[in-house]
A and B are shown apart, each in its own frame.
Chain A
Amino acid sequence: QVQLVESGGGVVQPGRSLRLSCAASGFTFNHYAIHWVRQAPGKGLEWVAVISHDDSKKEYVDSVKGRFTISRDNSRNTVYLEMRSLSAGDTAVYYCARDRDYGLGSYYFAHWGQGTLVTVSS
């Protein structure tokens, strides 16, 4: 079955960087767009970034543009989220999620990982 496993979270000081990974299995990885969605403690969901199935398209929410970079390695079935210049406002559980539909996608999040917690604190 579809499985997504995030890793790389932890406690990081403001201004520092962190890279999250999302390892996928159970489906043809290079057929699907992958998203990152975050949830600050006790708050709602915020979509962060998406990378298309073929790596041709990337989109970001304005609050992370220029600081976060999404990438994928289709040979390793893994998506990455490189996060720079972190601030307290980036503290959240970060989920990776697979698009519901293959190819161009539908931008519905049909499969989710368990999440990884990023805490930005001095």
Chain B
Amino acid sequence: DIQMTQSPSSVSASVGDRVTITCRASQGIRNWLAWYQQKPGKAPKLLIYAASSLQSGVPSRFSASESGTDFALTITSLQPEDFATYYCQQANRFPWTFGQGTKVEIK
């Protein structure tokens, strides 16, 4: 199975900060990567697909990039509603696998 390793596991930040979360795949997945946001007690929400494409309705302060097997999600100017847990997911090969999650907390 393809392992997805996220870092950091948690980050404390303030409203207005820029936050970057990274995800590394254990093998090449081309650009078959998604990012999700999950708030407590809620289902995840798709933010980014195909490594860097913004899902419809997602604010433009969310962006993403890729470099080989390394992927990054950046939130510019963090908003109160962005405090949540973020997961990456590879869609290159069965079984689809997720990173362990990164919790973005209020400083």
Which A residues lie at the B interface, using CB under 8 A? 35, 37, 44-47, 50, 59-62, 95, 97, 100, 106-110, 112-115
Contact = CB atoms under 8 A, between A and B. Distances in A.
17 contacts: A37-B44, A44-B99, A45-B87, A45-B101, A47-B95, A47-B97, A62-B1, A95-B43, A95-B44, A100-B49, A107-B32, A108-B34, A108-B46, A108-B91, A112-B43, A112-B45, A113-B43
A109 to B, nearest CB: 6
Contacts of B36: 45, 109
A51 to B, nearest CB: 13
A82 B98 CA distance: 23
A37 B1 CA distance: 16
User: Main secondary structure on chain B at its contact with chain A?
Assistant: loop
A118 B41 CA distance: 15
A107 B94 CA distance: 10
Contacts of B100: 44
A109 B101 contact: no
